[in-house]
Structures are given as structure tokens and as C-alpha cells.
Structure 1
Amino acid sequence: MAYDAGRVGPLGPQHKAAPVAAWGRDAAAVAAERPGLARLPTPLVTLDAAALEHNLATMAAWARAAGVDLAPHGKTTMAPSIWRRQLDAGACGLTVATPWQLAVALDAQVPWVLAAYPVLDPGVLALLARPRSARVLVWADGADVVEATSRGLTAGGEPAQPLDVLVELGAPGGRTGARSVEAALEVARAVAAAPGLRLAGVAGYEGALAHDAGAAGLQRVRSWLGELRDLHERLAASGAYGDVPGGVVVSAGGSAYFDLVAEALAPLHDPAGQRGPATRTVVRAGAYVAHDDGFYRGISPLGRGAAGAAGEGLRAALHGWVRVVSRPEPGLALADAGKRDLPFDEGLPQVQAVRRSGSGATETLTGAQVTALNDQHAFVRLTGAAESLRVGDVLRLGLSHPCTAFDKWGLLPVLDDAGAAQPVLVDWVRTVFG
């Protein structure tokens, strides 16, 4: 068992993925029996063990071939057992998006943590001022952020070690980030002068600049990456980087355009410092580990032809399982899952297959479409062969956007193969979403 079965302990009513019959029983003992999917409740979201392992290996191979480091975004799963598998596969560290996530990553003993936001929370800054073995890198996009970070870090006196800061470059109309290279250079100068802080590189998020793989969006991303490269090169040429243990970091790359990041920034990757300051190009893609059957299937580089040396693209590892609870009129079925169970912000779930009476072999189903979600109901419109659906049948759903799927489940069953005729439970993954 590669994930959390041995750490969950007794199952109970706080675990909506656990069958009532298993309440009070140890999660590892239940998984060891390899119960069939029919024994699990609905609604349900599951992980596919084979797809997870494939995605871990595929992304690790891509990073090696591209010549970059990988610090995947931990917020996608907030599952420390999956984080461990990502680190074991070769990731140098993890990325986080809130002060609380940073604290969780440090508690999980992640060796490198990229905090992709300004850290201003007094309690977390006090934590970072103490001695620590993990390397932490935070972002700043203005002199005001630099001043606030420095003030909070040094409130209790001189920190045990300098805090590494990456200057964040943004774009007009985008999210956070200095709005020009010149503005970012001013931020770098402020970092260099601030007590307790150390200028350690540059970073940004290109995903805010485009939302598709069209030519115009890709060109916007390429143009911005050129500016980020220029910012780093100007800082390096000016001698702004001092001694940075672990190396200077140049970081970009969400889950949509990491191929373009490698295209533009991999030539800067020089951990040994043979061409100047030791520099590491770090990609932060996180959704790859679970992938999806919606947004990322259409936009991920490993879904649109950039697999290259990594071979086969990514596989969807997340699936929903919902039971038909009503056939109130022709052409309509109601299923027992809604917004509280399934992601819907980047597209509605897609019906893929059916298990007749909930226990039959998984078989492909066409003609069924989820058209709306209420809190706890899915509206499924039916045509053709899908009109044969009956109350009690279970549908397998493809999901879109893993980042808003994991947060709905504190404990997820891991199946051997969601595409098998009779999938079985082999493990559990525990998430930490507060």
C-alpha cells in the first residue's frame, strides 16, 4: 500500500467514502481485503492507482528530458502521501499557495517549499524566523510587500537564517506580480536592502495570461516568459545575486504551459554554476498527478503533443461514481451527487460508463450527459441507448479540474483500475484541507 491505508486508523462517519459496514474497522484491514467497488457507497470520487503511478513516472521523465527541476503545486491534492510519491519520483520540493499550506508542507518535512505568494502572516513569519532544515522561498511583487515581510520576519529579533525571496513578475491586467521588468528590478533592490531577506531569484505564473492552447494565448505566454528570462539575466549580470545556498531559482510553469516554460527557461538551468550563478529552473505544475477528463486533458502539454521523451501522455486518475436515484420523466435521470461532491468550475462531469444495478461489469455508455448540478443532485439528460438506465444503476463520471475535486473528500479510495470490469479497492488517500 503506497499511500495512507496504514495511517488512517478506524473508519467512521467522518469518512463519507467509507461503507457503513466498515465503520469501526481499520482502513488498512479493509483495503487488504480488496473489496469490490460495489461494496463502496455512492456518491464517490476515487483515485486510479495505475494512472497515478503512470503520471508520476511520465512527468518525472518529461522533467529530466526537458532539463528542469519540478516542484509540483501541493494545493492540487493537499495529500501528503501523494506529495511523498512526487518527491520519491524526483521532485525537488513542493509549491504552496497559502501560509497554512506552507505550515502543512513544513510539518510534512518537505525539503524545499516554494511559497508562491507574499508571506505576511505574523505567525508563519515567526515560524520561518526559527532554525529549520527546509529551504523556503517566498514571493514579493512590490517594495511594500518586501517591507512587510522583513518587518514580520525580524519582529522577534534577527532570524536564524535569511529568508529567500523570489521577485514576482506579472503583467498588466493579470494577477499579482510587478507589472514590468523595470518595476521588478526595483523590487529586487528592495529585497537586497531589507533585513532578514535574501534575493534568490525570479518567478511568476503564466497561467493567468491565457486559458486555452490557441495561437494568441501561447504567444502571450511566450512573450511573458521572455520578459522573465530578461529579468533574471539583468539581475545576474549586475551581480545582484549574492551567495544563495541551493542556487538561484527561476520558476514558472503551471499545469497548462510547462512545455513553453522549458522552451524559454531550460537554457538557464545550471545547478553547477558553470556559466554564472548556480541557477535552477523550476517548473511548478501540479495537476499532472491526477490529470482529468476535462480542462487539463485539453490544455496540458502532455495532452496536446508535447510528451516527447516522456512517451505516452497523462491519464485521468480521478473518477466520480454516482447512482441513479430517480427517473421522473423520459429523457431524464437524477443521480445522487452534486456540487458538494464533484468539481464543476471548469466544466461539468462527463458520463463515461455504467455499472448495471451498481454491481455489473463496467461498460461504456453513450447518450448520457450531465447538464446541471444542484447541491446533492446531478441532472443527466438521456438519448438513445442511455434511455435504458434504471434506478440503482451506477455511472462512472470523468471529472474536470482536480484542484476542486480533492478538496471535497477528506479520504479517497484508491482503486486498482477504474477502467476494469470489476475495480477493487487497494488503498486510501487522506487529504488535509482544514
Structure 2
Amino acid sequence: MNLSEPSFGPHLKGFPASGAPLARAQIPAQDWNVLRGDLALPLAVLKQSELRHNLHWMRDFCAQRGLHLAPHGKTSMSPELWQLQLDAGAWGISFATVFQAAIGARHGVPVLLIANQVIQRAELDALAALHAERPPLRSMFLVDAVGQVDAIEAWAADRGFTGRFEVLLELGITGQRTGTRTADEARQTAARIAASPVLQLAGIECYEGTTAYCDHAKDRATVQGLMDRVETAAREAIAQGWFAHDEIILTAGGSAIFDLVAERLAPDLGRPVRGVLRSGCYLTHDHQRYTRYLCCVGERLNLKETLKPALEVLACVQSQPEPGLALLSMGKRDVAHDLDLPQPVWRSDGQGGAPQAVPAHWRIDALNDQHAYLRFDAAAPQAEWPRLGETVASGTSHPCATFDRWRWLPVVDDRYAVVDAVTTWF
């Protein structure tokens, strides 16, 4: 499948309604500036300087620890952002489904790490077809049960499939997501994978992100317990000859406490080890949830600077129907609200004026499909009230759930001039 250069045009939310379709290379020449009102709001934008900072920060973090990066591509589902990450040294890109991985492969991603179980026949069909299309492609997915191996072998027998899929044994945490819960389950599953004519055991995977609490002692104890299990399972698999290759992949790492797993991803096992972090939200970061987590990372590592928020959603003050309440032109269809409600970070007059920090008493306390309820102190001076027509930028929690509401995002410089754009493929 040949994917042509994406076209940006009035079929996209926020693009000028009377504008002609444009190729990506034509975007900078349009001389748009979102502070001037050249693009309709709401609009999600990416800040170029912050993106570059975050790319380099995570690249250096991994390089200093001898680790590799396969960031979660499901965060943005943006081929242009994946390419930025690969150009900055990422080994591959992680995905959650075969559909997502296929989009990645067809946009040139060379290594696909599907951090999820593959068991459906339709997904196995799709993965086999993808490898037939692209013989140099490398992919791997997770296995956490003997029954999953049985199902894959039954599919292979039915289809006459004679290839072999690379897989990772997943170790899980009781009460959390997928993955084997006990050492016996892990042992039985690894042995079954190694004996399968359809699978090859490439390494071991785990995920610690849902256990993060910003409690240093608690987070460290949870991660150490999980990584102890990973190392024990890897040593047993080596002793039993279960790994298919000399190099062993050990992978973990969400976007909250990745510094703790990073300490344990390259143990001395007497064999080459490729330690792979899969943090996905680092590229854009956020203003709320992950900012709090990264404060804890900074405390543990004694850092003066970590990641910077690069994603904002801009809206217009479209109504101020009563004292203390203004309605913004964005809602659940435009911005993440699954973890925290968006919160205003700056305001501008909507006519080219420079951004100014919003008053401390401003807050968003509710969203409808197309509206945000901005509350403010009606007793404050009127200069601190929202003004009709002005622009309000909000920061979010969890960038994944904002990206999937947009099919394009302009990239802006420090003056909020549009200098590039990216697409998403949800």
C-alpha cells in the first residue's frame, strides 16, 4: 500500500473553511498565526521548541543509561511525530494493536513492538500479511498464557502458516492489566512458547505505569518487585535455552515512573541485553497528570529540568452569560477529560496580542460536547474577567485522549506562527 503525501484542507477541523487543500510543505508559506485568529478555534496545537526539548531530553536519558527507546505510537498515531522520534534515535515504535502497527509499518517504521496480546484470527491474518508485504520488517507481540499459544497454533494450522512470530513473555501485576501473575505461569508459558513451531521467544515485557502514585518509597518497592521477577524469569529462560536469539529484549516503561524501571532494564545476564523503554507521552508531555509525575522523577534524579508541555488546546470565549461564568468554544469532542479536566494557562486578545497568564481564580469545572465552563471570581476586577472573543489556551492531562480528537495539529513557533503540521491516523 503506497501512502501518498497527506493533504490538509477544509475537511479538517480548524483549517480555514475557504482554503484550498495544501501539502505539508506548503503550510509554513501560509503565514498563519493562531494568536491573530487566522485559524478557527477550537484548535489543538503543538509547540515546536518544547517538542525539540523533549526529544533531546529523552534521547539523552536513554543514552546515558545504555537503553533503547520504542515510544508508544498510540499516543499520537502521527506518522510525522513517529519519524521525529526515529530520527532522534528511537529503535522502533510501540503500538497497542495490529491495526496501529500496520499504519506504522506502512509509514516506514522498521521495528514494531505490539505491547499487547495478539490472539484474534483476523489480527493474526493481518500481521502475517504485513510481513509478507515487507520481508525486512521486524515485529513482536506479547504472550501471557499457554492458551494463547494454543490459539495461535490452531490458527496457523488452519491457514497453512509456516512462518514464526517473535513474541515477548509478559509478566503482570495482580489486579492490574495483562501478564502472567505467578512464577509458575511465567515458566509454563515461556516453555510452551519455546516449544512452539510458530513462535520465537525474543524477550520479556512488563508494564508498571498503572502502579504510579508519586510516592517515592511505594513506587520504588513496586517497581523493584516487578523487575526482580523479570530478571529471575530471564535467567531461568537462559538456563533452559528458551530464548530464540543471543540478544535478549527486556522492555518496560510508561510515562510516569520510567526512571525506576530504567535502573533495571540492562542487567548483567551473561548475554547481550537490549533494554527498551516504551514511554509515549514524553514527546508532548502535559500540564497536569504527567507534570506531577515528572516532578517526582526530578526529585529522585535531582534534576533542575525535565520535560515541557508541548500540547495546548485553544478556544474562544464565546459567551459570558452571567457573573462568574464564561463559555469556551471547546468541549469533550476537542480535549481530553478522562483523567482531569483541562485548565486554562494563558489568554490573548484574539487579534495578535501576546499571551498573558490567566488569573489564578480561573478554572474549568465542566465540559459539554462543544462547551467548556470557565468559572472565575465575579468579585475580581473586571480586567481579570474573561472577555468575549479572546483566546484562552488550556493545558490537559493525558495527551493520548486529546490527539484522538484531531486529524491534524498545527505546529507553532514561540510566536504561535504556524511552521508545520502533523496528521493523525486513528
Match of 1:135 among 129, 138, 142: 138
Q: 1:323 aligns with which of 311, 316, 322?
A: 316
- 203, 226, 229: which one aligns with 1:227: 229
**Equivalent residue number for residue 336 of structure 1:** 329
Q: 1:280: how far off? A: 0.8
Contact 2:344 2:358 (8 Å CA) reproduced: yes
Structure 1, gaps ≥5 residues long: 1-5, 269-274
| CA distance in structure 1 between the partners assigned to 2:110 and 2:157 by the alignment | 23
Give CA-to-partner distance per residue, 1:304-345, whole Å, 9 cap, x none: 335679x73111110011111111111111111001001111
SS in 2 for 1:184: helix
Give the secondary structure class of the aligned counterpart of 1:39: coil
Determine if contact 1:128/1:163 at 8 Å carries over to the other structure: no
1:414 partnered with 2:401: no
- Displacement of 1:18 in angstroms is 0.6
Give, in whole Å, the separation in 1 of the partners of 2:15 and 2:114: 34
- Paired residue type of 1:379: Y
Task: Tell whether the 8 Å contact from 1:330 to 1:387 is kept in structure 2 after alignment.
Answer: no
| Contact kept in structure 2, 1:331 and 1:382, CA below 8 Å | yes
What is the Cα deviation at residue 154 of structure 1?
4.6
Aligned-partner Cα distance in 2 for 1:192–1:353: 56
Q: 1:49 to 1:302 in 2, by over 3 A?
A: farther
Equivalent residue of 1:87, what SS?
helix
Displacement after TM superposition at 1:158 (Å): 4.1
Task: Supply the AA of the counterpart residue of 2:201.
Answer: L
CA separation of 1:197 and 1:293: change in aligned 2, threshold 3 A: same
Query: 1:156 deviation in Å?
Result: 2.7
Task: Report the equivalent of 2:343.
Answer: 350
Quote how far apart the aligned CAs of 1:215 are.
2.8
* Match of residue 277, structure 1, among 271, 275, 281: 271
The aligned residue for residue 152 of structure 1 is 155
Cα offsets for 1:386-416 (capped at 9, x unmatched): 6432110110111111110110000111101
How many Å apart are 1:302 and its aligned residue? 8.1
Alignment partners' CA distance in 2, 1:376 and 1:216: 40
How far apart in 2 are the matches of 1:73 and 1:411?
A: 19
Q: Which amino acid aligns with 1:404?
A: A
Match of 1:183 in 2: 185
How much does 1:149 deviate? 2.1
Q: TM-score, normalised by structure 1?
A: 0.90
Structure 1 residues 21 and 362: CA distance shift in structure 2, 3 A: farther
Distance 1:148-1:308 versus aligned 2 partners, 3 A rule: farther
Shift of 1:214: 4.6
Residue number among 356, 366, 390 corresponding to 1:363 in the alignment:
356
The equivalent of 1:263 in structure 2 is 263
* Distance in structure 2 (CA, Å) of the matches to 1:260 and 1:290: 21
8 Å CA contact 1:60–1:90 kept in 2: the answer is yes
Q: Deviations over 1:21-48 (max 9, x none)?
A: 4244555434223311120110111001
Query: CA–CA distance in 1 between the matches of 2:336 and 2:172?
Result: 28
Alpha-carbon distance in structure 2 between the residues aligned to 1:323 and 1:237: 63
Tell me which moved more, 14-23 or 249-258.
Answer: 14-23
Kindly indicate whether the alpha-carbon contact (under 8 Å) linking 2:71 and 2:90 is maintained by their aligned counterparts in 1.
yes
Aligned residues with identical type, % of pairs: 37
2:108 corresponds in structure 1 to 109
Q: Which residue of 1 aligns with 2:366?
A: 372
CA distance in 2, matches of 1:92, 1:154: 33
TM-score (ref. length: structure 2): 0.91
Distance 2:206 2:73 in 1: 17
Residues 1:295 and 2:292 are matched in the alignment:
no
**Could you tell me how far apart the structure 1 residues matched to 2:199 and 2:125 are?**
14
The equivalent of 2:254 in structure 1 is: 254
* Alpha-carbon separation, structure 2, partners of 1:184 and 1:296: 31
The Cα shift of 1:355 comes to 0.7
- Alignment partner of 1:231: what SS? helix
Displacement of 1:79 in angstroms is 0.3
CA distance in 1, matches of 2:371, 2:401: 18
**Structure 2 unmatched runs, 5+:** none
Q: Cα offset for 1:299?
A: 0.8
Cα distance in 2, alignment partners of residues 263 and 36 from structure 1: 43
8 A Cα contact 1:327 1:334, kept in partner: yes
* 1:43/1:242 CA distance change after superposition, 3 Å: closer
Deviation at 1:111, TM superposition (A): 1.4
Aligned to 2:78: 79
Equivalenced residues, count: 413
Task: Give the match for residue 96 of structure 1.
Answer: 95
Query: Does the 8 A contact of 1:410 with 1:430 survive in 2?
Result: yes
| Paired letter, 1:265 | L
SS in 1 for 2:193: helix
Matching of residue 430 in structure 1 with residue 386 in structure 2: no
Give distance in 2, aligned partners of 1:109 and 1:226.
35
Preserved contact between residue 120 and residue 152 of structure 1 (Cα < 8 Å):
no
